[in-house]
Copies of this chain bind each other. A is one copy, B any other.
Amino acid sequence: MPRKSRAGSDRPTLADVAREAGVSAITVSRAIRSPGIVSQKARAKVEEAVRKLGYTPDPAASALASRSTSTIGLLVPSLTNNVFSDVLRGVYDGAQDTRFFIQIGNYRYSALEEEGLIRAFLSQRPAGMIVSSRDQTDAARALLEQASCPIVQIMETSDDAVDMCVGFDQLASVRAGAEHLRACGYRRLGFLSARMDPRARRRLEAFRDAASAAGLHDEARIVTTPLPSSVGLGRQLLEQLLDRAPDTDAVMCNNDDLAVGALMEARARNIDVPRELGICSYNDIEMARQMVPSLSAVATPRREIGSRAIAMLLAEIESPGSVSERRVDLGFAMMARGSTSPR
């Protein structure tokens, strides 16, 4: 029962509006794009005609003629990961009420897919791009470097950014977590991590360094898996850790899902948190804070990263070269809560 008419769209064009308003097409174009440079009178006539005909500009024609679009590309490695849904929200909120559209690409933690998406996005002549990693393939990085639009790399602050970047010091943030556990008096520190993408790997490395520096490093207490993160996986990883090293007295988790899972597993085993086992989470989504006991966590500025990134991009699109602070560090915070305690 096909029922929609696939009517050949005969929507009004600029020329139609121009005829209706008794001005030229280009004046209509200007009245719409930069009302300031058109006389009061002409503008009023155009507005009236637009309303009467129900005119909407054709973005494709505009893009072709002007060689630029109002699309902003946003590349993320995952859509389900809470981290990126927060970033996304920041970006969307910042793009609200502007003429720009956000187009999301999900490269599923695959650098190759990322490269393909970068290529595809750039071929659209986007107004700007936000990319979530600094771990592109060489080809992808070259594409970004040649791109004729501003680009923001998010999540990490790095010195070799393609254009601009906003994030925080991932390594320092993990060190802060490890240091917190040490300061609480925990001495046999474990580390749980899923999905070993480059960023997770760097954080693990930072943990190793921090633990080593404190004389608390024990490789047997580091449990990782390439599987995507989930609460259930957090339970499994803690199980593995306790099988392997039952005397572990605290565990740092590479994200909140794992930490919540670890907390649940501890509860299922009647392990007292924080007395018998300290748990430190990473990212600090709302859920983690609301657990019982509340999870201590390294809080990361996910939403702020999104909103700052889009703000920088919009400013740079507006007037190229105007953004002076091209490398922004938003920092992080160690939130000490009930899942860890001084002993």
With most chain B CB atoms within 10 A of its CB, the pick from A63, A79, A80, A264 is A79
CB-based contact B124/A60 at 8 Å: yes
The 8 A CB mask of A14-35 against B (1 = contact, 0 = none) is: 0000000000000000000000
A window 110-132: CB within 8 A of B: 119-120, 123-125
CB-based contact B235/A261 at 8 Å: no
**What would be 13 A-B contacts, judged by CB atoms less than 8 Å apart?**
A2-B322, A3-B326, A4-B147, A4-B320, A6-B148, A9-B67, A58-B64, A79-B88, A79-B92, A231-B290, A232-B286, A261-B290, A287-B287
Residue A56 lies at the interface, judged by CB distance under 8 Å to chain B: yes
Report chain B residues within 8 Å CB of A109: none
CB distance from A9 to the nearest CB of B (A): 5
Residue A254 lies at the interface, judged by CB distance under 8 Å to chain B: no
Given A231-B286, A291-B264, the answer on whether A124 and B59 have CB atoms closer than 8 Å is yes
CB-based contact A1/B56 at 8 Å: no
Q: Which one of B5, B89, B106 contacts A79 once the chains associate, using CB atoms below 8 Å?
A: B89
The closest CB in chain B to the CB of A121 belongs to: B101
Report chain B residues within 8 Å CB of A86: 80
CB distance from A112 to the nearest CB of B (A): 13
A window 163-189: CB within 8 A of B: 163
CB distance from A35 to the nearest CB of B (A): 19
Number of A residues near B (Cβ < 8 Å) is: 65
CB-based contact A231/B267 at 8 Å: no
Residues on A facing B (Cβ under 8 Å): 1-9, 56-61, 63-64, 67, 69, 79-80, 85-86, 88-89, 92, 101-104, 106, 119-120, 123-125, 146-148, 150-151, 163, 230-232, 234-235, 257, 260-261, 264, 267-268, 286-287, 289-292, 320-324, 326
> Once the chains are docked, how many angstroms separate the CA of A231 from the CA of B290?
6
The closest CB in chain B to the CB of A78 belongs to: B89
Given A63-B60, A64-B58, A85-B79, the answer on whether A292 and B320 have CB atoms closer than 8 Å is no
Report chain B residues within 8 Å CB of A324: 1
> Once the chains are docked, how many angstroms separate the CA of A56 from the CA of B80?
31
The closest CB in chain B to the CB of A288 belongs to: B231
CB-based contact B286/A230 at 8 Å: yes
Report chain B residues within 8 Å CB of A89: 79-80
- The 6 nearest A-B residue pairs measured at CB: A2-B321, A60-B63, A56-B123, A231-B290, A60-B64, A267-B292
